[in-house]
């Protein structure tokens, strides 16, 4: 008996040493802020407002908040449960939850690795802009740079030109002033050269939506600065030159990004791709060095850094919001933002994009949430954390929408356009539109520094979780490397920098968009769908609810709440994700960037990246089944195959190891206990002694 107790004490000491090596958050707030920082990222500032603009303004908010309830909160809570209950990272959690689905860990790891490469490149852009902002005259402030062309359009210079038309000047007739070819002029020779080449200056292409919903581009002729007439003969009616038309304008900040920072090439083809640009390469190196320094001691260091990186963006966002809503024309932007265009709800793309935005804004299915929660103490209240992060994340997007649409209303008022004519999508809103704004605010240098610091910290939080997911996957897969965690982090960062160097080339922007389109969207949707199906139909929904109750002591999860939640987990949530995935595949078209259509081989690489993640799951399932059958008795009968299925879908001992350890360390902290009954280890409720049959195991486990 004494020998058994001694052996038990020795085993507990080994387990405690393993837990100590793996690490824990030093406080509950560390985890909460890390989750909030991971979820709240660059997408809240530029992607959400653009989607809201594109899909009906306030109408987009309706499916957006519905998707939060249908897939956002359930999936977020599910992933926190997976990590906290098992204390395992995404690479190993699935192989212990249901060994047949261990390929999901590989899918998570690969998807996060690709996302981490290009996400840190975006952080490198913010570093580049941040250093470029430390000057009294911002480099994108006007069109007087060598890289600017005849289409460059400076909003501040244009505003001055409009003002001069009103006040007049002793040396010219004010009403004859026009802003074109980067200058505000009434020079007769300039006017003559413009009229001699009217097609060059005033003929353009505009998008036209057909009755079947297809969008095509058609020729049009400008008859004034903003109105484009599809009647090509209209060009003969132009007798006096006017300002550079809307669709011809290339803002000074846009040209700074494309022609100076990125030096963007004509395409992704090898002959156009180019070599790394030293400025971007140094910025990328700085980004990886910062990540290394913040993660050098694992979550104990990153958990403290997030106190700054997760809160600072809110300070800047509130300042920008207060300033933005007081700008002239801000009301027009807010009106466009809040007043719904209900006819848009008939478009399936609105619902698809709303679901996608919730999915990726909350960072579900990327493995980061499992990683972060795996460092929690077993009895941390993830129910509370889920509500705080999910609601906080979506409200951040909603509030950011007010700030950004106020800015768009101001810009529309400045140049005399409608709100929809000044918005830019994706990267443009962060690195083109806002830099334009700061040039027209008092102390533009200060505003530029604050804004890019905000973008930097927003991106840094998410990158922490991405790299931590990769690190955790490696250390959980190879625990012998845990004593060499610093070296492992260094190798990850060095590898990330080297593999990210192609993104610093003139063709790197095309590669970045390709990775963003193929590495995150389809793999994440598939992983999320698979997780819901495994939890609901393989592991068991009842077990999932009991896991939550065991960790949080929330007895109210049983009864009516359990039945209501089953409607989401076992039906609606996976169905919605499955439909979105099918629609995405059904409506597939070759990837484009503006007018540039990616070549077939580039789209092929994108498909290869996506399918490597997705097909790894069924491929590993087949491998595990064949392996189990090959080394088994190979009876070739129904009972044999059912036995293999049961073996490969039954949680391993390691899955509940963390829970059993917590029950041993503090038996009074939970309503459950683990007891051995014959050849099974069962979890049973302490209050009434009723055992949970769903936790039966066929193997003998010492507890």
Neighbours of 337 (CB within 10 A): 23
The one-character DSSP state at 652 is P
What's the CA gap between 623 and 577, in Å, rounded? 26
Q: For residue range 180-195, list pLDDT tens digits in order.
A: 998 888 888 888 999 9
Q: For residue range 14-44, list pLDDT tens digits in order.
A: 444 444 455 677 677 778 877 777 777 777 8
Q: Looking at per-residue confidence, does 408 or 499 come out higher? A: 499
Tell me the percentage of the chain whose pLDDT exceeds 90.
27
Helix/strand/coil percent split, the chain, to 5 = 70, 5, 25
What's the CA gap between 343 and 59, in Å, rounded? 8
**What value does the mean pLDDT take over residues 126-145?**
92
What's the CA gap between 254 and 260, in Å, rounded? 10
Ranges 45-49, 398-402, 488-492, 493-497: which has the least confidence? 45-49
- pLDDT of res. 536: 93
Residues paired with 172 in a beta bridge? 169
Q: Which two tokens stand for residue 218?
A: 């058609």
**Angle between the N-to-C axes of helices 103-132 and 444-477, in degrees from 0 to 180, rounded to the nearest 10:** 160
- pLDDT of res. 2: 47
**What value does the mean pLDDT take over residues 326-338?**
88
Place of tokens 């987990």: 569
Residues paired with 206 in a beta bridge? 218
What's the CA gap between 91 and 108, in Å, rounded? 7
The one-character DSSP state at 650 is S
Q: How confident is the model at residue 426 (pLDDT cuts 50, 70, 90)?
A: low
Question: What number of H helices and E strands is found in the chain?
Answer: 32, 11
**What value does the mean pLDDT take over residues 110-139?**
92
pLDDT at 310 over 80: no
What's the CA gap between 473 and 91, in Å, rounded? 5
> Mean pLDDT for the chain?
82
Q: How confident is the model at residue 299 (pLDDT cuts 50, 70, 90)?
A: low
- pLDDT of res. 696: 39
Could you tell me where the beta strands, DSSP code E, fall in 555-679?
592-593, 596-597, 672-677
Q: How confident is the model at residue 54 (pLDDT cuts 50, 70, 90)?
A: confident
Which range among 468-477, 490-499, 648-657 has the greatest average pLDDT? 490-499
Cβ(702)–Cβ(679) below 8 Å: no
Residues for the chain: how many in total? 703
Q: How confident is the model at residue 207 (pLDDT cuts 50, 70, 90)?
A: confident
- pLDDT of res. 534: 94
Name the CA radius of gyration of the chain, rounded.
Answer: 29
Q: Which two tokens stand for residue 64?
A: 């957006």
- Give the chain's domains with CATH numbers: 22-136+286-500+520-589 (1.20.1740.10), 152-248 (no CATH), 633-695 (no CATH)
What's the CA gap between 126 and 404, in Å, rounded? 18
Q: For residue range 537-581, list pLDDT tens digits in order.
A: 999 999 999 999 999 988 888 888 999 999 999 999 999 889 888
């Amino acid at each position: 008996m004494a020998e058994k107790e001694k052996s038990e004490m020795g085993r507990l000491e080994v387990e405690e040493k393993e837990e100590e090596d793996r690490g824990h958050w030093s406080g509950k707030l560390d985890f909460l802020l890390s989750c909030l920082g991971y979820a709240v990222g660059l997408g809240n500032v530029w992607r959400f407002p653009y989607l809201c603009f594109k899909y009906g303004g306030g109408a987009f908010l309706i499916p957006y908040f519905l998707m939060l309830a249908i897939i956002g909160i359930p999936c977020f809570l599910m992933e926190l449960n997976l990590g906290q209950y098992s204390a395992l990272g995404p690479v190993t959690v699935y192989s212990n939850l249901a060994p047949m689905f261990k390929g999901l860990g590989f899918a998570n790891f690969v998807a996060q690795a690709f996302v981490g490469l290009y996400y840190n490149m975006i952080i490198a852009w913010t570093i580049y802009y941040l250093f470029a902002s430390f000057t009294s005259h911002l480099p994108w402030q006007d069109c007087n740079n060598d890289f600017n062309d005849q289409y460059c359009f400076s909003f501040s210079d244009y505003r001055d030109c409009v003002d001069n038309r009103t006040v007049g000047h002793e040396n010219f007739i004010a009403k004859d002033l026009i802003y074109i070819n980067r200058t505000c002029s009434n020079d007769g020779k300039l006017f003559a050269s413009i009229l001699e080449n009217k097609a060059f200056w005033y003929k353009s292409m505009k998008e036209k939506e057909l009755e079947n919903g297809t969008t095509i581009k058609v020729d049009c002729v400008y008859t004034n600065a903003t109105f484009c007439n599809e009647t090509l003969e209209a060009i003969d009616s132009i007798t006096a030159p006017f300002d550079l038309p809307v669709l011809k304008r290339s803002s000074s900040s846009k040209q700074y990004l494309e022609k100076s920072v990125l030096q963007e090439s004509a395409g992704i083809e090898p002959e156009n791709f180019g070599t790394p640009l030293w400025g971007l390469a140094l910025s990328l190196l700085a980004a990886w060095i910062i990540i290394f320094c913040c993660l050098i001691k694992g979550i104990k260091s990153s958990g403290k850094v997030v106190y700054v990186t997760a809160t600072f963006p809110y300070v800047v966002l509130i300042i920008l919001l207060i300033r933005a809503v007081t700008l002239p024309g801000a009301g027009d932007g807010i009106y466009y933002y809040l007043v719904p265009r209900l006819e848009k709800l008939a478009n399936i793309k609105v619902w698809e994009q709303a679901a996608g935005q919730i999915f990726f804004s909350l960072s579900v299915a990327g493995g980061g949430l499992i990683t972060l929660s795996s460092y929690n103490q077993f009895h941390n209240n993830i129910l509370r954390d889920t509500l705080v992060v999910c609601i906080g994340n979506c409200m951040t997007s909603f509030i950011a929408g007010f700030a950004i649409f106020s800015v768009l209303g101001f810009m529309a008022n400045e140049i005399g356009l409608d709100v929809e004519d000044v918005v830019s999508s994706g990267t443009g809103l962060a690195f083109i539109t806002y830099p334009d704004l700061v040039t027209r605010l008092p102390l533009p240098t200060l505003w530029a520094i604050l804004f890019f610091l905000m973008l930097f910290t927003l991106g840094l939080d998410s990158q922490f979780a991405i790299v931590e997911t990769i690190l955790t996957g490696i250390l959980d897969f190879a625990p012998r490397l845990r004593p060499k965690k610093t070296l492992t982090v260094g190798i990850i960062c060095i590898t990330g920098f080297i593999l990210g160097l192609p993104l610093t080339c003139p063709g790197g922007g095309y590669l970045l968009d390709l990775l963003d389109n193929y590495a995150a969207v389809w793999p994440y949707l598939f992983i999320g769908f698979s997780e819901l199906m495994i939890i609901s139909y393989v592991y068991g929904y009842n077990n999932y609810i009991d896991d939550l109750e065991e960790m949080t002591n929330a007895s109210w999860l049983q009864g009516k709440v359990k039945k209501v939640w089953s409607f989401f987990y076992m039906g609606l949530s996976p169905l919605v994700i499955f439909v979105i995935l099918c629609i995405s595949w059904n409506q597939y078209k070759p990837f484009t960037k503006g007018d540039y259509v990616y070549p077939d081989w580039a789209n092929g690489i994108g498909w290869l990246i996506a399918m490597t993640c997705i097909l790894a799951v069924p491929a590993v399932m087949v491998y595990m089944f064949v392996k189990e059958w090959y080394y088994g008795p190979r009876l070739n009968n129904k009972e044999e195959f059912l036995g293999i299925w049961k073996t490969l879908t039954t949680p391993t001992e390691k899955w509940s190891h963390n829970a059993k350890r917590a029950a041993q360390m503090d038996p009074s902290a939970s309503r459950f206990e683990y007891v051995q009954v014959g050849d099974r280890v069962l979890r049973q409720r302490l209050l009434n002694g009723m055992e949970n049959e769903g936790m039966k195991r066929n193997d003998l486990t010492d507890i």
